[in-house]
Structure 1
Amino acid sequence: PALDPKLVRLAMVIRLNTLLKGGSGVQPRVAELYEEFLNKGVTPVVPTKGSLGDADITLASHVGSAMIGEWKVINKDGKQVASMEVLKEKGIKPLVPEGKDALGILSNSSVAMAMTMDAAKAVRQILKVTPIVYGISLEGLNGNVAPFLPQTVDFHPFPGLAEKASELRKVLAGSYLWDKDESRRLQDPLCFRTTVYTLSEAQNALNDLDKVINVQINGSDDNPGVMVDADRTGADIPQIGQYFIETKNAKGAIIPTANFEVLPVALAVQRMALALGHVGHNSAQRTMRLDEPQFTDLSRYLAAEGNLGHAFGATEDTLISIYSENIDLANPVSLDSFPVEGNIEDSASNLPRAAQRLKQSADNTFLVLSMELLHNTQAADLRKMKNKNFRMSPETEKLYKAYRAKSPFVDQDRIYSIDLENGDQLLKNY
């Protein structure tokens, strides 16, 4: 299947940026073509499958094929058309490749990095909205703020924990949860108590992923590397000296590299998927605890008074079916490679596959959070009817009202698929 055109354009931006770092040894016309393709809206058709993750040779090559007038591009109507036809229409002179041009276009990880950045963007949004969704759930539960007090987290100072605890306190500032309530339980189910940890570790994982993304998209992953005025350390050693060149027109080195290796990114992506799995796990468990009167002192499955239907009982099936996919998606795939190319390429990172799995996990997590939003807003409404002192924080009330604008209180059973979609879109764009 073809890659989303937006991601193809992102991949071209990434490759143009790394070309400008130097090291590719391509003629300037190659960089100019990336610029023209981007500015004139010429987007090659690039497949989503085919790369093992140590340079996207079989994917990025489609960009080069379009540049020389072969293959296909997406036109303004979204249809696939012959690239030469569009190049003529846009007044773009096709590439006549020479030297290292072709290798410079195809031997890089720009496509996998576009997929990775797309997934990271979705995760960033999840970590932005989850504290607020959690806040509504804690208000619906009449839960305890003790797990994210400064005293408790300072007593156990894992990296990033204090910062995430502070964020949760800000989200809930002004809530009735800070009022003393003799009926409030001393300790809540672990899915509520440990959320500060799961969010903290997810944030740490995202920070680490951002670091390696920034290295990869701002450096050269070319092999061999073409280095103008290269550092001559060791050049007096024959084995190293053979890589250096000095003529009246050029001075530098052409050195074989392993810079196509994106394992640091792949490992960070997989850690992110695992941490995100825990975020979804806590969300799914919080949702089901809200359905249980022994924890909430509310009605079973959050049924409104007079609702003789099933309320939210069956929604748990959907919730767990979506969450269960993330258990599989959290498994590592960077070890799943076999030797190819006459056994010389006998390891790979599988970064494209890992990135696609992280994006799918993120999409699933939005749906899990949407289901939590369906339940916790209902719990908040029922709590309000039960407790005259109930008061949401400004942050939680804002999200609550945005959701209620499209998904009203459930007084009788209805089709919840629309509510799930409403919550999904709200959280993705909030």
Structure 2
Amino acid sequence: MSDQVLILNGENLTVEEVDRVARQGVKIEIALEAMNRLEKARELVFELADKGIPIYGFTVGVGWNKDKEVFDEYFEEYNRNLIYAHCVAVGPEASEEDVRAILLARLNTLLVGRTGIQPAVAYMYKEFLNHGIHPVIPERGSVGQADISCLSHIGLAIMGEGEVFYGGERMDTSKAMEMAGIKPVVLGPKDGLAIVSSSALSAGKAALVLNDIKELIDMANLIYAMSLEGLDGNVTPLDPIVNEIRKMPGQIYCAESIRKYLKGSYLNSKDITKSLQDPLSYRDACAVHGSVRDALEYVRKYLELQLNTSDDNPCVVIEERKIISCQNFEVTTWAVGFEMLAIALSHLSKMSCHRTVKLSNPSFSGLSRFLSPNEGEVQAYQTIQKPFTSLDTEIRHLANPSSMDFFSVAGEIEDHANNTPHVVRRVAKIVDNLYYVLGIELLHAAQAIDLRKPDSLGKATKAVFDEFRNEITFLEKDRCLTIDIKKAYDIIKSGNLLKAAREALA
């Protein structure tokens, strides 16, 4: 685990911070003012309950059972049973990285102080994160209108039940708690509802996916730059003035990034050759990659609102000394934003595939067919078009909107949903497929560069070319390309190529 510490206050958690806690093991602390908010909200809940005011999930049941009264002598039993009754999710199970992101997302929204939960429960989220105790959470079963069927498994762990991963081993929660010196929490009024009624399953994983997409855009820009060098393409579409005239933020960002990667390249010193205009997959790359960037910025804005506001129903309004039934669990804004992002990523995938096809075609590249070093003897990249176009087909179908496909449930009370966990998982799969698609484009770009033997590459593209060739050598003779494809996937996913490019430009 990292020695760094992140102070949570329920107000300013970022996507990057979620990534660091989930993947780098950054530890957390809770700001004093946030704990004070929890205590005040808890006091108000008991104050109103003593006055006989019906409180959803506290003095009355939840969902269709909102008309059923819960008596104070049954508070512990009712909340424990609420957790059991909501444990209905199915596998596969969320990764430990995802679980850490989920725990962090829920903890930060608890700290907004609108749930009325007992502070000991919030403290347990912190203990789980800092000790590396990760509840086993089946990740399917939520319709996205709060992830109740999945987050309930965190409730099991908080009570000392169910299973967790601890120190790389799967074990009973009670054993992990004993080893870590932690005691289970006895649930009280409203605790069960506060644990399960949140979109943290969706939001935590979504934050990790957004961070991956941010890096993927830069990776796509870098690989495109290398493809352009392999094609001997035109750099005029990257000119600052034409992009500034267009005023599209993502397009301007991507064009600037690609120009930096190509600084020092032979492409910048040559006259326009071949056709006056390259195919659109080359000419429009900074615009289409920029579309992904623009969609990312939209989703990021609203996801970070999700991470730093209460998504609880009912909402504890300390300022007015009341508890209000509300719709704050509704996540349609950023759920449909994720679907927009999926569609934009599908366009990026198509562009990459078309660039790869063009590099294998002598009429566009001026090189040998399928980038063979010897067309009479070496078949080279003749068959590799099958896998990357197949992966693109998967991406196309994963990008189909699904947020509107829901039923009316819970006695027809809950007649709207977003399927947000499903939407986020589909985008995560798109990203994983793109590591392969872009990896295969990079195989072609590097092969084309070797065959073309240009006078000079860009400072960044040269560093990436050398790093890539350390892993995958020039295709001089036919070999098992499945191995090369997996190596290309791994090196792209690792981030090492972007690191090499950034270091070269530093």
TM-score over 0.5 (shorter chain): yes
Cα displacement (A) at 1:182: 6.1
> Are residue 56 (structure 1) and residue 165 (structure 2) matched?
no
Correspondent of 1:367 among 436, 440, 445: 436
User: Is structure 2 residue 352 aligned with structure 1 residue 283?
Assistant: yes
Amino acid paired to 2:202: A
**SS of 2:474's equivalent?**
coil
For residues 412 and 307 of structure 1, do their structure 2 counterparts lie closer, same or farther at Cα, with a shift above 3 Å needed?
A: farther
- Which residue identity lines up with residue 261 of structure 1 in the other structure? E
How far 1:59 sits from its partner (Å)?
0.5
Matched, 1:146 2:236: yes
Cα offset, 1:184, TM superposition? 3.4
Percent identity, please: 37
| Separation in 2, partners of 1:372, 1:182 | 23
1:126 partnered with 2:216: yes
> Which residue among 458, 472, 486 is the counterpart of 1:407?
472
Map of 1:355 onto structure 2: 424
Secondary structure at 2:316 match in 1:
strand
Instruction: Decide whether aligned partners of structure 1 residues 192 and 306 sit closer, same or farther in structure 2, where only a CA change above 3 A counts.
Output: closer
Alpha-carbon distance between aligned partners in 2 of 1:41 and 1:179, rounded to the nearest angstrom:
54
TM superposition shift of 1:228: 1.2
For the residues of structure 2 that align with 1:182 and 1:268, how far apart are their CA atoms?
A: 39
Q: Bigger CA drift: 69-78 or 53-62?
A: 69-78
Deviation for aligned residue 1:225: 0.6
Work out the CA distance in 2 between the residues paired with 1:330 and 1:77: 34
Partner of 1:380: 449
The structural deviation recorded for 1:307 is 5.6
Which piece of structure 1 moves more, 397-406 or 148-157?
148-157
What is the CA–CA distance in structure 2 between the aligned matches of 1:188 and 1:87, rounded to whole Å? Answer: 62
* Deviation for aligned residue 1:381: 0.8
User: What are the within-5 Å matches in structure 2 for residues 153-232 of structure 1?
Assistant: 153-181=243-271, 183-230=273-320
Q: Residue in 2 aligned with 1:83?
A: 173
Q: Which amino acid aligns with 2:164?
A: V
Structure 1 residues 91 and 309: CA distance shift in structure 2, 3 A: same
Contact 1:367–1:424, Cα closer than 8 Å, also in 2 = yes
Select the residue among 76, 93, 96 that pairs with 1:5. 96
**Equivalence for 2:124:** 33
Moved more, 60-69 or 301-310: 301-310
For residue 326 of structure 2, the aligned residue among 249, 252, 257 is 257
**TM superposition shift of 1:306:** 6.2
Tell me the distance in 2 between the aligned counterparts of 1:307 and 1:53.
Answer: 57
CA distance in 2, matches of 1:225, 1:42: 29
Post-superposition shift, 1:150?
A: 2.1
Q: Which amino acid aligns with 2:449?
A: A
How far apart are 1:186 and its partner, in Å? 1.1
Tell me which amino acid in the other structure corresponds to 1:426.
I
In structure 2, the partner of 1:417 is: 482
Counterpart among 153, 158, 161 of residue 70 in structure 1: 161
SS of the equivalent of 1:48 reads strand
Q: Displacement, 1:185?
A: 2.5
Q: CA deviation at 1:171?
A: 1.5
Tell me the CA shift for residue 98 of structure 1.
1.2
CA displacement, residues 344-383 of structure 1 (integer Å, 9 cap, x when unaligned): 1111111100000000000001100000011010001111
**What SS does structure 1 have at the residue aligned with 2:408?**
coil
Asked whether the equivalents of residues 250 and 292 of structure 2 are also in contact (C-alpha less than 8 Å), the reply is no
Give the match's secondary structure for 1:304: coil
**TM-superposed deviation, 1:161:** 2.3
Q: Distance in 1 between matches of 2:343 and 2:274?
A: 33
8 Å CA contact 1:144–1:185 kept in 2: the answer is: no
Amino acid at match of 1:351: T
**Residues in 1 aligned to 2:297 and 2:272: alpha-carbon distance in whole angstroms:** 40
The question of whether the paired residues in 2 share the 8 Å contact of 1:175 and 1:393 is answered with yes
Distance 1:314 1:149 in 2: 36
Letter in 1 for 2:247: P
Output the CA distance in 2 between the equivalents of 1:207 and 1:96.
41
When the two structures are superposed, what TM-score results if normalisation uses the length of structure 1? 0.91
- Tell me the SS of whatever aligns to 1:344: coil
Matched, 1:302 2:371: yes
Q: CA deviation at 1:99?
A: 1.4
Contact 2:144 2:419 in 1 (8 A): yes
Structure 2: how far apart are the matches of 1:269 and 1:36? Answer: 31
Alignment-derived partner of residue 195 in structure 2: 105
Q: Secondary structure at the match of 1:266?
A: helix
How much is the aligned-residue C-alpha RMSD, in angstroms?
Answer: 1.4
Is the 1:283–1:372 contact (alpha carbons within 8 Å) kept by the matching residues of 2?
Answer: yes
Q: Distance in 2 between matches of 1:352 and 1:96?
A: 29
Aligned to 1:74, what secondary structure does the other structure show?
strand
Unaligned runs of 5+ in 1: 231-251
After superposition, give the CA deviation of every residue in 1:175-198 in whole Å (9 maximum; x if it has no partner). Answer: 111123464331111100110111
Corresponding letter in the other structure for 1:346 = D
Q: Which residue of 2 aligns with 1:293?
A: 362
Q: Which has the higher contact order (CA 8 A, sep 6+)?
A: 1
Asked whether the equivalents of residues 302 and 311 of structure 1 are also in contact (C-alpha less than 8 Å), the reply is: yes
1: distance between equivalents of 2:294 and 2:424?
18
Contact 2:136 2:163 in 1 (8 A): yes
* 1:25 CA displacement: 0.4
Where in structure 2 are there 5+ consecutive unaligned residues? 1-91, 497-506
- Mapped partners of 1:356, 1:209: distance in 2: 15
